[in-house]
Every structure is written in structure tokens, then in C-alpha cells.
Amino acid sequence: MALPARLGVVERPQAFGDLQAEAGEALENLRDLAHGIYPPLLADRGLTAALNAQAARSAVPVTVDADGIGRFGQDTEAAVYFCCMEALQNAGKHAGDGATATVRALRGWYAGRACGPMMRSIASRKHS
């Protein structure tokens, strides 16, 4: 038996439209998931552009200092990017009113800092 017949499309023509809508929603969900796994902006324009784009959406004001760092391998860029995103999420959740955050990426190093009444933290990590 053909797949459409098994799904009731032959008996209920409107079911085909429902299936198309559900497939479209599933595809959109997969695209959203893929963007979360490796954002297209990170792949296309690099770490500085991706960090600036996320800083613009952050719950706290963020300064990004990453100009001139160039490009790294996909694994390195993804690791630094997601560490910075986690730090920004934590700052937004825990730093309190009036908090600010800074993400600094220098050739070979990255650092994140959040300042606010509920949080004082600095994290640095060398990468190659």
C-alpha cells in the first residue's frame, strides 16, 4: 500500500494539506535546531560577527571586543562561541539589575566578564 493511502490521504483529501503543514513545521524546527548547533553567521562571517549578533539580543548590555582575531577552525570557533553564549545566558539570569557583560577575544585567548550586584566573575581560557 502506498504511503499516502496508509496515512488516510486518499479517504480524506484535506489530510494531505494537514501533512504538508506538519512537514513544514517539522522542517522549520530542524532549521532552528541546526542554527543552534552551528549558527550560519558563525560559519559565514566568523566569531566576531556571531558574537556581535548575539550580544545585540542579550538580556544585559554586552560589549564585544573581538576585532582582528581572524578565523579559526570550525571546532575552535564553535567552542569559543558556545562558551561565550553560556556566559551571557548566565549573566542575564544571575547578574541582577544594572548588570553589564563584556566578551573579549584576542588571538589565542578569550575571556568573559559579567558585572552586577549578584555576580562578579572573570573566566579566561587559552585556545590554539
Sign of the CA dihedral with 29 first, then 31, 32, and 38 last = positive
Q: In the predicted model, what is the mean pLDDT of the chain?
A: 75
Listed in order, strand segments (DSSP E) in the chain are: 62-65, 100-106, 109-116, 119-126
**What is the tens place of the pLDDT at every residue in 17-30?**
777 888 888 877 77
What was the pLDDT predicted at 74? 87
What was the pLDDT predicted at 48? 92
pLDDT band at 7 (very low <50, low <70, confident <90, very high): low
**What is the tens place of the pLDDT at every residue in 67-92?**
888 888 888 888 888 888 888 888 88
- Rounded to 10 degrees, what is the CA torsion of 18, 21, 24, 26? -60
Q: How many CB atoms lie within 10 A of CB 103?
A: 28
DSSP state of 114: E
Total-model pTM = 0.61
DSSP state of 97: T
What was the pLDDT predicted at 17? 75
CB proximity list for 52: less than 8 A, separation 6 or greater:
64, 66
pLDDT over threshold 60, residue 117: no
